[in-house]
Structure 1
Amino acid sequence: MKKIGFLSFGHWTPSPRSGTQSAADTLLQSIDLAVAAEELGADGAYFRVHHFARQLASPFPLLAAVGAKTSRIEIGTGVIDMRYENPLYMAEDAGAADLISGGRLQLGISRGSPEQVIEGWRHFGYAPAEGESDADMGRRHAEVFLDVLKGEGFAKPSPRPMFPNPPGLLRIEPYSEGLRERIWWGSASNATAVWAAERGMNLQSSTLKEDETGEPFHVQQAKQIRRYREAFAAAGHQREPRVSVSRSIFPLVSNEDRAYFGRGKDGDQIGVIDNMRAIFGRSYAAEPDRLVEELKGDEAIAEADTLLLTVPNQLGVAYNAHVIEAILTHVAPAMGWR
């Protein structure tokens, strides 16, 4: 069995060909797609976070709304850039969204992805400490966030509070039991995957990865996952960690599918991103029988317990629901995922 969800980047553009002309379109259709995915039997609704872009940027109102409109599906991010975050305020938002959803939040965080603007986190009021990189700052924010999610008191109460306090030091409220175990780290390298394992986070293996060996993307990603699991066990954590990978997968079952995605298969791509030689995984698009055979060769999908399907949100809710349904119907049973 494998959990299957969708991952939306939440693009919008005023282009007449876009099904999402505005931010409002994207937000409302994101909620509708989560509801549709739950009805189809999918396991997760995940959303990308990008600042200064015509994409989803403020996840917690969206996560809370999805939580209020659904009852079973997991709700998450992939990923929140921790360079931009106040960890304590974020813990309040995350606790509230998790309580609204009944404990279904699966929160992906990371040091962030390449930006639309130069050092955008400075506009949010954050700057690295002396001798610290922006990536270090993101990881520092993450560790503070993880610490306060434990629910332990740390703030000295006022001797003259507005409302009566419980005894002892005060914690961040609202507190949601178990959320600390449902935090994921988005990792693009073996080293950061090990770092996440040591801190007891789940792993979201990135849509791109540092090209560390020159091997195909899925092979490098599978090795990263295995190293992560070894480090998680070595750190002495008592639970089984979760691991997700994301893929663009399109079963060609209609003429519309073939018109959009039937132009032949893509291979891995190599590029330089943030001064790092990176490898990007291929997309999968084929008739269902052929698609299944191709997916059986993807080592990283086999290693992961969760598969996130990157969806073309600008094609609208109905089409994206069709893609999810096609995968659940034509691909998942043949792969042994259902």
Structure 2
Amino acid sequence: MKRIGFLSFGHWTPHPQSATRSAADALAQSIELAVAAEELGADGAYFRVHHFARQLASPFPLLAAVGARTHRIEAGTAVIDMRYENPPYMAEDAGAADLIAGGRLQLGISRGSPEQVIDGYRHFGHLPAAEESDADMARRHTARFLELLDGEGFAEPNPRPMFPNPPGLLRLEPHSPGLRERVWWGAGSRATAQWAAAQGMNLMSSTLLTEDTGVPFHQLQAEQIQLFRDAWAAAGHRREPRVSVSRSVFPITDDRDRAYFGAEAGSTDQVGILEGGRARFGKTYAGELEQVVADLARDEAVAAADTLLLTVPNQLGVEYNAHVLENVVRHVAPELGWR
């Protein structure tokens, strides 16, 4: 069975046509959509993290709330920008949220995307070291975060502590066993996918790649996935890795769908410039149910992944997004043999 979840950016804007007019709306509706997704039989509720934007930002209160309100689905991120993160504090927050969720967290992290402000991570107190890029800093933060999730003691205990300590060096608490294996790297290229495999992280690949070889997006992404799996095997990791891809999928089943996404039928890949380099963006899958099924059946990367994240237009509200999820989970997925 292929896991199917949703991915929300949590946009909000004070506009009369938006269902999310405030940050409070975006947060509350994110939780309600996760509850609805579980009831529909979906497998995951994932959220994007962007700073300095009218979107979801601090993820762990939201993940903890989703974990407390649901019982089965995964609660995750896609992705957290590690340039902004304090690894010890993040490890504590992640451990607490995972324990609240009963071990259902799936943490997607990455170097990050183009920012809303110039060097926004500096406002969070993080500066690249000498001869270090911001991407290097993100990987340094990641290495420390992964070490902390291993749960090994590292801090010398106070000989006169306020409370009794267990023997030996102390680790951060709360510690959630198994969370280290549920960390994913959002890789934008084939090379970063191979690096993620070497670090023992799962692969999360979105609807864009920061390179272009002239082949269709789904084929380039399928190549990325295969290179990741080859690098994983070469690294000698003992467990099987997981791989997710994101897609915009909108079966047209009623007049609302047609009004919102009818114009997207026949969408194609886009090639553009991102941070000075060529990038390829995947198409939107919109059309009648039979057409969407046929298009997804030809998507080599979707076939290669074990998890599909459906990007949702959260500003259209919980009820409409639950309708989109229901169309995919209960109608498209069975036709493709995923259910």
Q: SS at 2:150's partner residue?
A: coil
Q: Map Cα deviations across residues 55-104 of structure 1 (whole Å, 9 max, x no partner).
A: 00000000000000000000000000000000010000000000000000
Query: Structure 1 residues 27-36 or 262-271, which shifts more?
Result: 262-271
Match of 1:336 in 2: 337
Does residue 281 of structure 1 match 2:282? yes
Tell me how far apart the structure 2 counterparts of residues 74 and 268 of structure 1 sit (CA, whole Å). 30
Q: Distance in 2 between matches of 1:313 and 1:50?
A: 15
Where does residue 253 of structure 1 map in the other structure?
253
Question: Are 2:299 and 1:298 aligned?
Answer: yes
Partner in structure 1 of residue 165 of structure 2: 165
User: Could you tell me whether the CA contact under 8 Å between 2:244 and 2:306 is conserved in 1?
Assistant: yes
d(CA) in 1 for partners of 2:292, 2:110? 31
Structure 2, unaligned runs of 5 or more: none
TM superposition shift of 1:297 = 1.0
For 1:37, the aligned partner's letter is A
- CA deviations on 1:217-263 (whole Å, 9 max, x unpaired) are 11100000000001011100000100000000001011110111011
Aligned equivalents of 2:253, 2:16: Cα separation in 1: 26
Moved over 2 A (4+): none
User: What is the deviation of 1:126?
Assistant: 0.3
| SS of corresponding position for 1:80 | strand
In the other structure, the counterpart of 1:22 is 22
Q: Residues of 2 paired with 1:53 and 1:78: CA distance?
A: 16
AA matched with 2:333: A
Identity %: 72
Q: How far 1:273 sits from its partner (Å)? A: 1.2
Task: Determine the C-alpha separation between the residues in 2 that align with 1:193 and 1:206.
Answer: 12
Distance 1:117 1:49 in 2: 15
- Show the counterpart of 2:62: 62
Q: Deviations over 1:247-297 (max 9, x none)?
A: 000010111101110113211111111222111100000111111111111
Q: Is the 8 A contact 2:206 2:247 kept in 1?
A: no
What residue ranges of structure 1 are gaps of 5+ in the alignment? none
1:138 alignment partner in structure 2: 138
Q: How do 1:1-338 and structure 2 match up within 5 A? A: 1-263=1-263, 264-338=265-339
Give deviations 1:201-224, integer Å, cap 9, x for gaps: 000012210224221111100000
Helix, strand or coil at the partner of 1:246: strand
Letter aligned with residue 165 of structure 1: N
Cα RMSD for the two superposed structures: 0.7
SS of alignment partner, residue 138 of structure 1: helix
AA at the equivalent of 2:281:
F
C-alpha separation in 1, matches of 2:306 and 2:126: 35
- Tell whether the 8 Å contact from 2:212 to 2:280 is kept in structure 1 after alignment: no
- Give me the TM-score of the superposition, normalised by structure 1: 0.99
Letter in 2 for 1:295: L
Give secondary structure in 2 for the equivalent of 1:140: helix
- Residue identity matched to 1:186: G
Residues 9, 49 of structure 2: 8 Å contact kept: yes
**2:61 maps to amino acid:** P
In structure 2, what residue type is equivalent to 1:118? I
**What is the number of residues matched between the two proteins?**
338
Most deviating of 270-279 and 67-76: 270-279
- Partner letter of residue 17 of structure 2? R
Distance in 2, matches of 1:14 and 1:309, equals: 25
CA distance, structure 2, for counterparts of residue 222 and residue 120 of structure 1: 33
The one-letter amino acid paired with 2:187 is: S
Question: 2:211, 2:36 → 1: CA distance?
Answer: 37
